[in-house]
Structure 1
Amino acid sequence: MLKSGFREGISTIRNALTPAFFIVYAVTVMIGILLAIVLQHSGLAGALLFTGLILLVSYTYRDYFKMANHFKELSIKDELTGLHNHRYIQSLVDRLIEEQRPFALLMMDIDHFRRYNEVWGHVRGDEALKRVADVLNQRRLDGEEIARYSGEEFAIVLPDYDLSQAQLKAELLRRTVEETSFPGAERLPGKRVTVSIGVAHFPQQAKNKKELMVMVDDALYKGKFTGRNKVSLYTSVLDEMKSDLAAQQEDEEIIRTIKVFLAILNSKDRYTYAHTERDVIYATALARKLGLPEHQVRYLRFGAFLHDIGKVEIPIEVLTKRGPLTREEWQIMRSHVEIGVNIAKPIRSLAPCLPIIRHHHERFDGGGYPDGLKGYDIPIEARILTIADSFDAMTTSRPYQRKRSMEEAFAELRSCAGRQFDPALVEPFIEVVQSIGLLSDDVEETYA
């Protein structure tokens, strides 16, 4: 859509400028003719003719350059909000990276904006976009650049900011929007317009533009998926894993390969990628509540993050199917645990994670897969992840499944204790969730 709109804009500018070029060309020819005449005359007539010539040239070129500057401005401005546009911010990021100048990038999305448009219409929605733009402009400092990036999304570039300064700025913007009055906000969750903001930094986190854009988008998505109306810094458990493992050179190469696999998984099924991040949080909290040694907690975190990595080899039509799987499709889906083990196995440092990846779909009563392990034959880390994984699946919206409330999910965990879940882990897990909150509360499948 953006590319199409950009092409139409360029075409409009080209069509508008073509007549202007003919005018300038014609005036230039006239100048040559008149100049020849002036050179043949002298005295008052020549002076008047020359003065008229100068006025004609200045008037013609003034209008031409005014029109050229107007269209140049349109090419980098958003007509609705008056902010810079997607093209401008992309060029600015390119320039700052080329100069190796540190900067933070904020990506802001208006929460529940689709619902706002559905309730009040697009005219009122456009007014809300302009109001958000005004709020951002009022808080803008010298050197900061703001753009309407796309739809209800805004980008803010903060040159020479570090991450902590960028986080403070993002929080200021989030709070200011939350405190601003918007007509019709009473029909939205929380009865107010709010925004979610992702934050990433060059070069502290990203080494190039592509990495930076992926990171800030992931940070925004994480904020949207964990409740909205929040500022989220980019974080990656995989990056922590790389530093914690102190891997040898050959292992580092394979870890980079796994990072590529995870990027592919993210592009194929963003839900799965975000789901693993939440599993890490739930599983880590339960492990620490149970008093597991820190080295076990560390490898549980890594195993939780990598447990669905085998899904990169699952056909996308199976992975993202909007209805129940057939028997054949279910067999394909089940194979992801063994594929995941094969991907992680070459990394010697990840050996403690392999049982977690392989056995997180085993059941306490022995009815799980792939090996049908039963009871305490299932590693404790896998039993922990099974609860976290199931709980997050129950409390997250999917096209084929109604999202359950926290209490409904607790009731399901209790009813399945001793069958699917280790009964000794269910109540501690419920206590953990009650203390940290429901990470996927009020989440829809898309940003909305």
Structure 2
Amino acid sequence: MTTDADTTAPIAGSTATEIADSVRELIERGDLRPGEAVPPVRSLADRLGVNRNTVVAAYRHLAQAGLVVSRGRGGTRVAGLAPVAQEGFAAGTVLRDIGTGNPDPDLIPDPSAALAGMAGRPVLYGEPVIDRDLENWATAWMREAVGDRPMRLTITSGASDAIERLLAQTLTRDDAVALEDPCFLSSMNTVRLGGYRPVPVPVDAEGMTVDGLRAALEAGARAVVCTPRAQNPTGASLSAERAQALRDVLAQHPFVMVIEDDHFSMLSSQPYHSLIGPDHRRWALVRSVSKFLGPDMCLAVTASDPDTAQRLAMRLSPGTTWVSHLLQRLAHALLTDRSVAAGVRSAAAHYAARNTAFAQRLVAHGIEATAVDGLNLWVGLPVPARAVTEQLMRRGWLARSGDEFVLADEAAASRLRLTVHDLTDEDAERLAVDLAAAVGAAAPREVG
């Protein structure tokens, strides 16, 4: 049985921030426990002598931080520690996992030869944080994308690390961040756990929509996180026309932080089109190596305007300080190896071919599907995806429902994100047959 905090918890404050901080402190002390109700808006406003909208704003701040949840007529209650969806293999399952989002381990280059040749003098405190050879190579790589505008490089422990630090040096709690909807899980979790307010921007076949971005900026978004190609989970890539239209919208907001996560860069079949205009003042292009050199290569290159780079370096200095030079040297050795480069091109062709082949199998079984770009397929269904995943589990498959990636797009509840590039032809055909059967079993039965 839950206790009504209206009579037991001494909530105080006269502003939304003060009230929210008071409730937060009660939760942290354990005076308010998961499941307990916080006071109704009207009664708390009357007790504190404030406008009801002030209490509404305070509860909204707490909800955005994940501390409370609204249950309609059930009131607003303290949230429990609910797990957040993550990429990767599901733990402890005997089912064939087709929702991992992983690259094929057989297509990740073997680092053994490169590791054997990496001996060198130790790197000590106070030395440059970027390995010189990697910096020279990465500068040319990023220059191809950003042109001759002023930029500086930063090396972080992966793309998610870069995005988290970029947002932290730009925003304060409750600031709004424009995110693609449906959204990459890591970006979604980074924003929510950072206490920022996600503002959904719909994604269509050409990427982030113009009207959606405009609405997010009008709603006060101070940062934008966008995937220019192989958007996860949809696979969409910005067209040249869409990128130009987005740049036109952002031209009116030159100090909004624009972060591009080009995670699929070397594997992408699509050209790179940027929504960062040549005169935009605060920007960052992030490219990790995890999709083609392996997830354990926790390294990303970030090119950004000099001021943002300086702030990002300051965010690194009290914690990680720098990414290991051994890891940087290994990345450089692999990235400049011709056989590795050929392997990356082969992997790109493999992912594209396998996803296309599976999409064709689905179409042959009456399910609409199109292979776009990326490691996954975003499959539309005529029935709710959760019901289909339950049916697939009975057939030995563990699939991922689209609603895990949703901020506001209800249509994604009828989508599956499937990782199928590593299936054999036999398994792929079996999955296509089972998926068609699962859709049929999940369809409502006619009564008559």
TM-score normalised to the size of structure 1? Answer: 0.22
Determine which structure has the larger strand proportion and give its number.
Answer: 2
Of structures 1 and 2, the one scoring higher in RCO (CA 8 A, sep 6+) is 2
Determine which structure has the larger helix proportion and give its number.
Answer: 1
